[in-house]
A and B are shown apart, each in its own frame.
Chain A
């Protein structure tokens, strides 16, 4: 059995989740503070991957990443980067596709923390960044873990976007979900079952781990 689709999937999910954590957590913090029409529009755009058919998202990303026009052309001309049918393109598409799974839980958790926690930190002379790092983030650990696992698992399971953007290039864009589809098309049910079982096992263990961890961690911030 060729395990490369599994490794590629894990690599894609790992890099996507790491990037989403770095970008998504500060973004969720910004969204959690105050409300404006601009923020509502931004939040709606971030939420779109939740409701759009993945093929629609994939189609627009395919257009955007195309080396013939726009962002894709600019990246291709200036940095010789090709996003369509390449691993970096898959990563960027996955970051966009899984963004609501990182931002949603983190934003809700930050909004549920009592405002007095941050205020108390400010009265001690601490900056907004110090407060975020030392007071707010440590008190939303269960939601952070949930966000990380959901983003990872969601990226493991993506199919439509990957197919549109990456196609089916072995070792480059052929992730496990594509390998399952490919095997079924070739009537190779044994391989399809192997890939499916591995994906199922990984995601099941991750979801169980979140439930177990949060059972012991989830507590009201006010005790």
Chain B
């Protein structure tokens, strides 16, 4: 029997069902981010972004309020202590 350490996610909701952004929407987001890209590179971004958008939308949402973010300065036993 395989022992499992997977616990049900505190946040099960995702954004997977949203429709993918259109190239026009991606251009608008880039403009809002202040990116002024040459046409060819903007085309690259429009081609690449959907894969990353789908990835981000798979992240669980609506987590329990006390689920804190990891902090990159914590690399010691504090991670383990959080479970006790």
Q: Do A and B come from one complex?
A: no
Residues on A lying within 8 angstroms of B by beta carbon are none
